[in-house]
Amino acid sequence: MTDGHWTFEEIAPGEAHRHRIVAEVHSTKSAFQHIQVLETESYGRGLFLDGRIQHVAADEYIYSESMVHPAMFLLEGSCERALCIGAGPGGVVRELLRYPGVGEVVQVEIDTSVIDVAREHLPHVGTEHWSDPRVRLRIADVLEYLADEPGRFDLIVNDLSEPLPGSPASEVFSARSVGLMRSSLSERGLYVSWCGSVGPRSSEMAARIGAVVGRVFPHAYRYVTHPQSYGTVWMTVIGSNLPLDPLGADVAEIDRHLAERMTGTLRLYDGVTHHHMFHVPKDVREAVAQVDLEQPIQLLVDGGALT
């Protein structure tokens, strides 16, 4: 939410993170959500959906790079087809297109208004990715799209906004829907989803989303980053049908992989960062281990639940 000239976003009970608002650049209500583009004092322009931060210019790269490059390293830079779920402004799409070994990227976004707003108001993300011949943009509900899609993907990236009660995203995080994602993958395919905040008082939603992926897939690998604009440590999970060893390659090997199989320059991800990501702190590991899979997945926001 926004409060006067500040954003206000609860991270945990009694804990919030705020950004000073310099200007409201754009505000509209679509059929699905309230879309705002706000200019913040410290982090620049950013996208907010239903009052909750999606990204801001100064550290958008942290989120987008961390959602794509660990999985692409595990896929050895080769991906015949990738699916981006949501991914609104397209930062994840942009990062995937750095790899010549990516054949096709399908972005399925339910809200065409987010795309329109991004084209007009979020130049820091870039719009050239939608002109790339490898990209297919589909305005649809991803569950309906996958039910009708006969093909298989080597990578599925879940970049939806938070699964707030009643939102289009809420069902996509359920075990049933993650199972549909798994059935849409090739044998070597990977499923990547953000999980959320893993601060000392805010880890329940992230731990439970990660636990769903661990329940659906035979192998699940968690890692952490720190997008400062979120005000918290952030967890992501990779689900795989096959066993992987995210820490099996040394720093130099990962850097060689990037130099040989990727174009452009990254600001966050390299071999050192990769190893840092997958060395998950003890308290986060314990929070994940304590999840009761028989209980509904409680969301921090508004007391909603996923099953």
* Relative orientation angle of helices 251-261 and 271-278, to the nearest 10 degrees: 120
Secondary structure class of 306 (helix, strand, coil): strand
* Catalytic pick among 59, 111, 154, 159: 159
- Count Cα atoms within 13 angstroms, Cβ side, for 267: 10
**Residue 33 among known ligand-binding residues:** yes
Helices (H) and strands (E) in the chain, counts: 9, 17
- For residue 159, indicate whether it is catalytic: yes
Reference 306, options 161, 172, 143; nearest CA is 172
Contact 161, 49 (CB under 8 A): yes
Q: Find the helix or strand (DSSP H, E) in which 17 lies.
A: strand 15-17
**Residue 54 among known ligand-binding residues:** no
**Residue 36 among known ligand-binding residues:** no
**Residue 168 among known ligand-binding residues:** yes
| Residue written as token pair 């509209």 | 28
Q: Which residues are catalytic?
A: 159
Residues tagged in the binding site annotation: 33, 109, 141-142, 168
Residues tagged in the binding site annotation for S-methyl-5'-thioadenosine: 33, 109, 141-142, 168
